[in-house]
Structure 1
Amino acid sequence: MKEVVYTKAAPEPIGPYSQGVRVSNMLFVSGQIPIDPRTGEVVKGDIKEQTRRVLENIKAVLEAAGYGLSDVVMSFVFLADMSLFGQFNEVYAEYFKEKPPARVTVQAARLPRDVLVEIAVIAVK
């Protein structure tokens, strides 16, 4: 059975998709970009600031469904510029300290609202 997950603690979807979808014990979190859910605006700043905002948005969707970062088994990372990989990784490592999930990281030609990073995850309980 498919259950849509929604929280005001994460940005409103900017298209026809759900913040998250739970199927059985799996949670699929849609790609999050660095939008501050309180203002609806993209967080200005460098890759580190934008990565923190994205991961906080993901954390909010996870928590709304009763999951946590430790339940994430796979993440999909899209960077606007692969030269930002090292700085991105510094922040990412703060959120996934032990037993980090499997991950795909690619450079995208362009991301929504011209942000520097977008991340989607899959979590399992």
Structure 2
Amino acid sequence: MFTPIIPEGAPTPIAPFVPGSRVGDTLYVAGMLALGPNGESLHPGDVKAQTRYVIDEIIRVVEATGGTLADICYNVIILKNRADYAAFNEVYAEYFGTNPPARYCIISELVRDELLVEIAATAYLGKP
């Protein structure tokens, strides 16, 4: 059994899912995209802006459970273009640079042509 986590003002999902699922002390954050409150694509063509938006949305889900960015222990990253890898990592390091979580990154198409990055996260909310 899990508890769905839907932060106030979260964008309406474009498929049947919730932004987060908490199971005990573990939070699973759905793959986040640069989508606005009405499902519109944001920052087309700008991987840095999309990355910031996506990570900020992940943080909102984690904070809705009382967690913080430091609680994120694993990320799955999907980039549309290999050429965006360095720019993505610049922004990623701004958030996770000092103690980065484990991660998995692949290059693949996304659900819309103008979307360049998707990130799903796992956070541990218990005490070590």
Confirm or deny: 8 A CA contact 1:2 1:22 kept in the other structure: yes
Identity of matched residues, %:
41
Q: Matches of 1:63 and 1:73 in 2, distance apart?
A: 15
Report the Cα offset of residue 97 of structure 1: 2.7
Q: Matches of 2:106 and 2:62 in 1, distance apart?
A: 23
Confirm or deny: 8 A CA contact 2:31 2:119 kept in the other structure: yes
In structure 2, the residue corresponding to 1:61 is in which secondary structure?
helix
Report the Cα offset of residue 66 of structure 1: 1.3
TM-score by length of 2: 0.90
Confirm or deny: 8 A CA contact 2:14 2:39 kept in the other structure: no
Once the two structures are overlaid, the 10-residue window that deviates more, 97-106 or 21-30, is 97-106
* 2:60 paired with 1:60: yes
Confirm or deny: 8 A CA contact 1:30 1:121 kept in the other structure: yes
Structure 1 counterpart of 2:112, which letter? R
Report the Cα offset of residue 8 of structure 1: 3.0
Report the Cα offset of residue 9 of structure 1: 3.6
User: Which aligned pairs between 1:18-57 and structure 2 lie closer than 5 A?
Assistant: 18-37=18-37, 39-45=38-44, 46-57=46-57
Structure 2 counterpart of 1:64, which letter? A
Q: Deviations over 1:9-53 (max 9, x none)?
A: 43221111111000010000000001123x532112411011111
TM-score by length of 1: 0.92
| Unaligned segments of structure 2, at least 5 residues | none
Q: Matches of 1:9 and 1:86 in 2, distance apart?
A: 31
> Alignment length, in residue pairs?
123
